[in-house]
Copies of this chain bind each other. A is one copy, B any other.
Amino acid sequence: MFSSWLPGLNRGLATPTGRIALLVGRSPSRSLQLSSRRSVPELSSFVARTNTCGELRSSHLGQEVTLCGWIQYRRQNIFLVLRDFQGLVQVLIPQDESAASVKKILCDAPMESVVQVSGTVVSRPPGQENPKMPTGDIEIKVKTAELLNPCKKLPFEIKDFMKKTEALRLQYRYLDLRSFQMQYNLRLRSQMVMKMREYLCNLHGFVDVETPTLFKRTPGGAKEFVIPSREPGKFYSLPQSPQQFKQLLMVGGLDRYFQVARCYRDEGSRPDRQPEFTQIDIEMSFVDQTGIRSLIEGLLQYSWPSDKGPVGVPFPSMTFAEALASYGTDKPDTRFGMKIVDISDVFRNTEVGFLQDALSKPQGTVKAIRIPEGAKYLKRKDIESIRKFAADHFDQEVLPVFLKANWNWNSPVAKLVMEEQGLGLIRRMENQEEDVVLLTAGEHKRACSLLGKLRLECADLLEARGVLLRDPALFSFLWVVDFPLFLPKEENPGELESAHHPFTAPHPSDIHLLHTEPEKVRSQHYDLVLNGSEVGGGSIRIHDAQLQRYILETLLKEDVKLLSHLLQALDYGAPPHGGIALGLDRLICLVTGAPSIRDVIAFPKSFRGQDLMSDAPDFIPPEDLKPYHIQVSWPTDAETEKNSLNPPHHPES
């Protein structure tokens, strides 16, 4: 009893716990109560087995056990390896006459059949131990066996699943789930979310509130799925987040809300996005940015898997402006350097034409990144494709500059640069001999964005050639803050749209600009970035009805009727509040190192939003649509053809 729960309890504590073990040893009468608080779960309660396959060790020698599992493989009709979610165990097929029926069951059953065996845990004969297998010291001497369910011939072996196309894996998802990797991913996800719940609910008094998913469209909610109701012409919408509800809960005095919330977004075909996804959704009253940040740092520290190393807090923080200037993006990957450097002053008096041109404009800058040992690892065709990318996507020129004087890239411009401003450049970029500098010139944002992309591109190139830039065991968290509150609308730059959403509060220092230069107002939005991916975002919200109405109506020109309930709620004693949402799928994907978020979701959709296992979505008989007062508008042949070309049909969906 003690040995089974103590390791788990100990794991929760950071210091040696000999004293607690001693205490319990002295006080056996309480062991039953304490054992119900143990951290090591009982995996064989309520079921036919006594143990899991994977848990058996030398300490179980001599025990009579009953195991249930899948036949992983069989060798010479003597050994059989049985698998369950905990691992593998070797089973000795009995060879004596009296056990002929047991032998027949175990030898006849096809691979991946489900069997139940009972027998004794025995030592493997000396020399036959398998140190690579956690159960490799023991085997099971079987007495009885039962075939619980035979397996038909599989489309392919479970262990080969990861090698198959993703479409095949998704079609046979129930087989793919048996793989070690999928079991690991889904179990880690469950455990990490459970720890988050403990932190929020048990340690900090958050209330888990379920909010509706049958809701009303939100202003600008073009990406919301619609659901016809039985009232003609009226539709529910599946919300992209519980944003309105969590704010209304604050108005309702719930004070500390969280939810592991299902959210929906219909973006058509986009790689690595799912039409339904999950976020850890949090909102608090009477909180500021610092409070939310500390909460989240504590949350991640508490829930982080112990085998992934400790999480250091507080996380560093960077303004949006700094992130753009140094990394060319609002989600910098801070695991490595190669930061963007502004070298405009070095080139203030340059004779190089395109730099001169750029710097003569009011917003003109010269920027560069340094690629360590680039001269050693980058090939000529890499440089060419980098320059092509810059020209195609950013309409920018990129100049590669090498330190070695004798390097010959047929670039008289680069040579001129080195001759004129070489020393300044070397000093500013802290160059070493084998480095390459990529240099570009132009407007600040555009130059930074380009170099931000090239920074990641070159990191990939270097790593593909064996340079370790980004430690795969490193988790580099970063807060990005002080975003702009508004952005010019893409289709009409004279109008403004919310950089995040219209409920974000303006930065207190910039409120005076709201009526004069709203485009200059910074917001109280914050993003959480991990290894260059956005894993969370949130803000302090507007709790003043008048300010909210001004922003919605006057600045954003939204239809406030759709939000009248929220505006009214703010008028009735809404507390100051703020919150955040963490993208759970992305976060678990990064923690597990999975190649795609589809690998951390039990039944994901394909790129085109299809469930390849059940073939959803599917046609529905017209009579089933009648109660909803809708009918299908079948596209004309011309439209069908157009749609079949655009978006392109992805091979894996």
Contact = CB atoms under 8 A, between A and B. Distances in A.
A229 B633 contact: no
A118 B159 CA distance: 64
A544 B152 CA distance: 12
Nearest to A252: B177
A84 B565 contact: no
Contacts of A38: 203
Nearest to A113: B573
A619 B149 CA distance: 52
Interface stretch (A234-242, A387-395, A402-410): A234-242
Given A15-B29, A47-B284, A151 B254 contact: no
B632 A633 contact: no
B634 A232 contact: yes
A487 interface: no
A79 interface: no
Interface in A253-285: 253-256, 262, 264, 266, 268, 275-276, 278, 284-285
Contact of A214 (B15, B48, B254, B275): B275
Contact of A41 (B201, B233, B278, B640): B201
Interface stretch (A335-343, A441-449, A621-629): A621-629
Interface stretch (A288-296, A307-315, A351-359): A288-296
How large, as a class, is the contact surface on chain A? 35 or more
Contacts of A232: 632-635, 640
A249 interface: yes
A208 B505 CA distance: 35
Given A84-B255, A286-B48, A573-B149, A190 B208 contact: yes
A219 interface: no
A573 B114 contact: yes
Interface string A224-250: 011111111111111000001100110
Contact of A70 (B175, B573, B603): B573
Contact of A46 (B84, B252, B292, B565): B292
A233 B572 contact: no
A175 B294 CA distance: 30
A315 to B, nearest CB: 15
Given A208-B194, A572-B112, A36 B203 contact: yes
A174 interface: yes
B203 A576 contact: no
Contacts of A210: 262, 278, 601-602
A13 interface: yes
Given A203-B38, A618-B235, A186 B229 contact: no
A574 interface: yes
Contacts of A625: 226
Given A112-B572, A286-B48, A287-B48, A235 B617 contact: yes
A565 B613 contact: yes
A169 to B, nearest CB: 12
Nearest to A34: B13
B197 A209 contact: no
Contact of A209 (B190, B201, B230, B544): B190
A50 to B, nearest CB: 11
B173 A252 contact: yes
B205 A41 contact: yes
Interface in A96-134: 112-114, 116
Contacts of A589: none
Interface in A40-77: 41-43, 45-49, 68, 70
A20 interface: yes
Nearest to A29: B15
B173 A248 contact: yes
A614 B173 contact: no
A550 interface: no
A144 interface: no
A276 B214 CA distance: 8
B613 A152 contact: no
Nearest to A209: B602
Nearest to A38: B203
Contact of A574 (B149, B253, B287): B149
A650 to B, nearest CB: 14
A141 interface: no
A83 B233 CA distance: 43
A85 interface: yes
A30 B23 CA distance: 15
Best-surrounded residue of A13, A114, A172 (most CB of chain B within 10 A): A114
Nearest to A623: B222
A253 B47 contact: no
B37 A12 contact: yes
Contacts of A306: none
Nearest to A291: B46
B47 A286 contact: yes
Interface in A567-589: 569-576
Contacts of A113: 573
Interface in A599-653: 601-603, 605, 609, 611, 613-620, 624-626, 628-635, 640
Contact of A216 (B197, B228, B614, B635): B614
Interface in A283-335: 284-288, 291-292, 294-295, 302
A85 B214 CA distance: 28
B84 A616 contact: no
Given A13-B30, A630-B630, A634-B629, A284 B544 contact: no
12 contacts: A13-B33, A15-B33, A42-B205, A49-B286, A112-B572, A114-B575, A148-B575, A149-B570, A182-B252, A210-B602, A214-B616, A225-B227
9 smallest CB-CB distances across A and B, nearest first, come from A177-B252, A216-B616, A41-B205, A151-B573, A46-B291, A234-B617, A229-B617, A174-B251, A190-B208
Given A49-B286, A152-B572, 15 more contacts: A43-B256, A112-B573, A114-B573, A116-B286, A148-B576, A172-B572, A210-B601, A214-B617, A215-B611, A233-B620, A234-B618, A235-B620, A248-B603, A252-B602, A629-B634
